[in-house]
Structure 1
Amino acid sequence: MLALVRGRPIVHPTETRLRALLLSGMDGDAVAYRTFLAELTRYLRGYLRRRIPQLADDVEDLVQEILLAVHNGRHTYRPDEPLTAWIHAIARYKLMDFFRARSRRESLHEPIDDYLDIFAAADDEPSAARRDIGKLLEQLPDKQRLPILHVKLQGLSVAETAQLTGLSESAVKVGVHRGLKALAARIRGLA
């Protein structure tokens, strides 16, 4: 931690200790590096618990992700820069990734408690709709059908779909757009 007093930097003892351990570890001292990771783990737990107290179960997973990022990126650390600022930047990025992934997952889940009456009667409409969508999708070329299937129906990301299908990410986006447009035109023609 770096603070300024009368325009001069005051270095926090945690900064000094962690920095010395990391630099020793980068010079080949395995014991110092293990100690660095252990002390950084405690530091990160406190940092994350203060930021996401309502998500205490996720703290350990995030700590591990940040430690892995620090380990994998340790060669990018510049010794003339504050270590904790570098670690905080990594932690913030991992925290933002966590929130993005969590919001994506949460948007897929709607609490069922509000809709218990949905089980009052059986309905085969979803299976009929699934069959109809399947028939409509079969009429599309693969470069439109596969992106719609993976991105819109299975919930994969554009990047995951591109990797799975061998298409570029932009081709996946174009395929989804054109495919949905073609499906809409066919549905309008059926109505």
Structure 2
Amino acid sequence: MSVRILALVGSLRSGSHNRQLAEAAVKLAPEGAEVEVFDGLGEVPFYNEDIDVEGSVPAAAVRLREAAQAADAFLVFSPEYNGTIPAVLKNAIDWLSRPYGAGAVVGKPVAVVGTALGQYGGVWAQDDARKALGIAGGKVIEDLKLSIPGSANRFAETHPVDDAEVAAQLTEVVARLHGHAGEVAAA
């Protein structure tokens, strides 16, 4: 069975190490898993119930919801901004949590990973992302974590896919997420 994993990256910066980590996940996905990195989170307007009205939902939000609806699982890459989740990622979760109780993440396996400059690799932000995704209805896999500290130094000259330790850890994350998605689909 083929499993579609939608990757959401919480950094919009062109040289983002989290974006590079997501690109590595695409390359390292096991057979039967397809990781697709969603482009366009920066185009999605801030969530506002006044514009979340059938027939007038902004096109960027519709595109996000459609991609999420087609996914079997989510792999979220979160840097840490001021000790918490980036606004663009929280906004995506807000859009995907609606309509309440029936959003595109409901019941689907979710893993949150990432890298950050600090010594803990963004764990506070990743924990906040797990919390928000769980409240939105995602089936957060709490023991599936990867927080890579010191991103600016570690990836200054090496893409994450070429870092053997990171590649091995990320491969395991994607494989386990793939397995969880397969279990949900079979149930």
TM-score > 0.5, shorter chain as reference? no
Q: Tell me which protein shows more helix as a share of its residues.
A: 1
Superposition TM-score tier, normalisation by shorter sequence: under 0.3
State the TM-score, normalizing by the size of structure 1.
0.25
Whose strand fraction is larger, Structure 1's or Structure 2's? 2
Pick the structure with greater CA Rg: 1
TM-score, structure 2 as length reference: 0.26
